[in-house]
Chains A and B, each alone.
Chain A
Amino acid sequence: MIDGHNMPAASAIESAYRKYRQGMRILLEGARAQTGQTPREVIWSKNKARLYRYAPAAQPRFAVPILLVYALINRPYILDLLPGSSLVEYLLGQGFDVYLLDWGTPGDEDSGLSFEHYLLDYLARAVTKVLRASQAQEVTLFGYCMGGTMSAMYAALFPGPPLRNLVLLASPIDFAREATGLYGLWTNERYFDPHRLVEAFSNIPGELVDTGNRLVKPVGNYISPTVTMWERIARDKPLDGWLAMNKWVNDGVPFPGAAFRQWIGDFYQQNKLAKGEMRLRGRRVDLARVTCPMLAIGGSQDHICALPQAEAAMRLVGSQDKEFFVLDAGHVGLLTSPGARKKLWPRLRNWLETRSQ
């Protein structure tokens, strides 16, 4: 790490030591960064969930607000990671009224929360609160990852107004084994019993879920981040983005046991959603009932939600106005990569612009 050919030896050594100390501090104390900095206020809460309204810089130009729905794993500030790398900030700047439903951190008392509760009790009520706060008649549901799966199910259960548009970003819809890659293999009934995990842990620890996600690409997820960190420190490159991303990656939340059983059993192992066999409190979730305009987005490098999983929404929903867009990015790169900012976000704005008047 001794850089600078013209530096005196003492300065070079001091520089090397400073960089070494910086790297070791990060490794020992963890990545720290200021994330989720866009101003917001809580307009509704239920148990651990919070519904946030982001403060717009000016009066919204569009009548239809956007409700962002994130997954039950990891934290939603990936949608508002850093200034300049925030989808929330971008949408606000384009004149949209933006809301976010944060599911919160479940405790042991929440181990019985299932998709029925999250969709029919939390999300349904959140939509009502958004309409009341925005004084709008319709709302756009924007789901990311599992949040998109949940949004699609909500749209199937409650088609028509007040649901105006549906946006699914890297959202798995079809969980057929041939479409899910390594996840399909690992969750095979022969090898994986979700009930044992729930019996042992109640809520599945975030670290366990994170381990499963990282093992999809072990070298890239375990070794490359550290190598990248040292390289950026040695080259005096900015570390803000790396720190924010690594903070988020290591900031998982427990997965409620009942919802975990459903996610593995009903979705991955039995693929009930794509087959039309999913039922929530006795109500059948039929994606063909979705009739609102839909935009589905997938990443060609996404190993968590494979492209066929996201693209399945196109053949399963009943919407006439539907579109599928592919970006050359991974699961998180769809939100934070430079390519996402240049290509995906403007595409998203154009699509929403004409459907949010």
Chain B
Amino acid sequence: MSEGAKTHTSSSADAAEIWKRWFETSSGMWSALLEGSGGIPADPYALYDVWLKGVGAALERMKAGAPGVMDFNEAWKQWLEAWRKGDPSGLAAPWLEMMEEAKNRMLAGGAMPADPLAWFMQWYEAASETWAKAAGDVIGSEQFMEAASQFLEGYTSVAGTLRRANEAYFSSLQLPTRSDIARVAGLVVALEEKVDRFEDAFDDFADVSARAATHDAGAPLEERLAGLERKLDALSAALGKIETAQERGKRLDRLEGKLDSVLAALAKSQTEERPGPVKPAEAARRTPRAKSARQPEGKGPLSE
């Protein structure tokens, strides 16, 4: 501070007075430095006039109401009341309601936890829901939408202008720009697209030609197969006939065997049925005949 400022260091219990003296001193210092006003201080003091008067009046009221000792709670309530009444934005009232609701939520949980983290979490859980609701009301309002729309319009204008300016600047410096790189990349993508088309066409051709080859090659094969099948059928029919003849032959053989058995049985039974005296004529006739005409067993006229 300058010499002039140092001469005004006498202390004063009145904060407003201290502020006033400091402002006058410093404004004089700057005026002298800038040689703008020939030592007469410029007077933006007028801008603080209302505020200073208000602070002074508040101090007077406080001194009159509670001399010596200031009640903090009372002062806080007075400040809140003054703010609520004088709030031009209209946000004070809902903010206070929100804080009040958060406080009630928090206190509804009972005693405050000793652990600071647990305290913080309890406070956050109590307050966040209220904040979220308030934020939701704000962002869902028409006023917010209009403001956001205007912001977006300005933002896109600036972004677009910057983008075009950068393109022009780097282009003038003979340096590649995003659009140059995008153009080259676009050519590569187009080339890849052509390769993809070739691949697709090849895949389709492979599928179709595979089906066509099978069809063309199959027709004569089918005919040959059909011919083979016919021959096999004939062969199996012939085999069937052969089997039938063989079966019949076997049946005949079995039948002949049975007949032979029957004949043998008959011959045997005829021999056994004539056990009485043999008449001489029969004996003579039988014996020589039996001796001469005796056939080996089983070899009679009916034995064959």
Report which A residues bind B (CB closer than 8 A). 1, 46-47, 107-111, 125, 132, 182, 185-186, 188, 190-192, 196-197, 199-201, 215, 217-220, 223-224, 227, 231, 234-235
Residues of B within 8 A of A46 (CB): 192, 196
Residues of A within 8 A of B146 (CB): 191
A190 to B148, CA, bound (A): 12
A224 to B140, CA, bound (A): 20
Q: Does B181 contact A (CB under 8 A)?
A: yes
> Nearest Cβ distance between residue A120 and chain B, in whole angstroms?
13
Partner of B139, one of A192, A196, A218: A218
* Complex: chain B residue closest to A188, CB-CB: B145
Query: Interface digits, B157-200 against A, CB 8 Å rule (1 contact, 0 not)?
Result: 10110010000000000000011011101100100110010001
Residues of B within 8 A of A234 (CB): 117
Q: Which of B89-142 contact A (CB under 8 A)?
A: 117, 121, 124, 128, 131-132, 135-136, 139-140
Q: Does B153 contact A (CB under 8 A)?
A: yes
> Nearest Cβ distance between residue B180 and chain A, in whole angstroms?
10
* Complex: chain A residue closest to B150, CB-CB: A191
- A108 x B145 contact (CB < 8 A): no
Residues of A within 8 A of B160 (CB): 199-201
What are 26 contact pairs spanning A and B, CB under 8 A? Answer: A46-B196, A47-B192, A107-B185, A108-B185, A109-B182, A110-B189, A111-B182, A125-B196, A182-B139, A191-B145, A191-B149, A192-B149, A196-B152, A200-B160, A200-B163, A215-B139, A218-B132, A219-B128, A219-B131, A219-B132, A219-B135, A220-B132, A224-B128, A227-B128, A231-B121, A235-B117
Residues of A within 8 A of B159 (CB): 200-201
> Nearest Cβ distance between residue A180 and chain B, in whole angstroms?
12
A110 to B121, CA, bound (A): 46
* Complex: chain B residue closest to A224, CB-CB: B128
* Complex: chain B residue closest to A231, CB-CB: B121
A141 to B188, CA, bound (A): 30
Residues of A within 8 A of B287 (CB): none
Residues of A within 8 A of B261 (CB): none
> Nearest Cβ distance between residue A119 and chain B, in whole angstroms?
16
A235 to B135, CA, bound (A): 29
7 closest residue pairs by CB, A with B: A108-B182, A200-B160, A109-B185, A200-B156, A109-B186, A191-B149, A219-B132
* Besides the known contacts A47-B192, A191-B148, A231-B121, 13 further A-B residue pairs in the complex with CB atoms under 8 A apart: A1-B117, A46-B196, A47-B193, A107-B182, A108-B178, A108-B182, A109-B182, A125-B196, A191-B145, A192-B149, A197-B152, A200-B156, A215-B139
Which of B136, B157, B183, B193 has the most chain A CB atoms closer than 10 A to its own CB? B136
- B121 x A109 contact (CB < 8 A): no
> Nearest Cβ distance between residue B179 and chain A, in whole angstroms?
7
A235 to B121, CA, bound (A): 12
> Nearest Cβ distance between residue A281 and chain B, in whole angstroms?
16
A129 to B60, CA, bound (A): 86
Residues of B within 8 A of A219 (CB): 128, 131-132, 135
- B156 x A196 contact (CB < 8 A): yes
Partner of B132, one of A1, A186, A217: A217
A211 to B152, CA, bound (A): 13
Q: Which of B273-296 contact A (CB under 8 A)?
A: none
A219 to B130, CA, bound (A): 10
- B124 x A185 contact (CB < 8 A): no
> Nearest Cβ distance between residue A322 and chain B, in whole angstroms?
33
> Nearest Cβ distance between residue B250 and chain A, in whole angstroms?
56
- A196 x B192 contact (CB < 8 A): no
A108 to B187, CA, bound (A): 12
Residues of A within 8 A of B179 (CB): 108
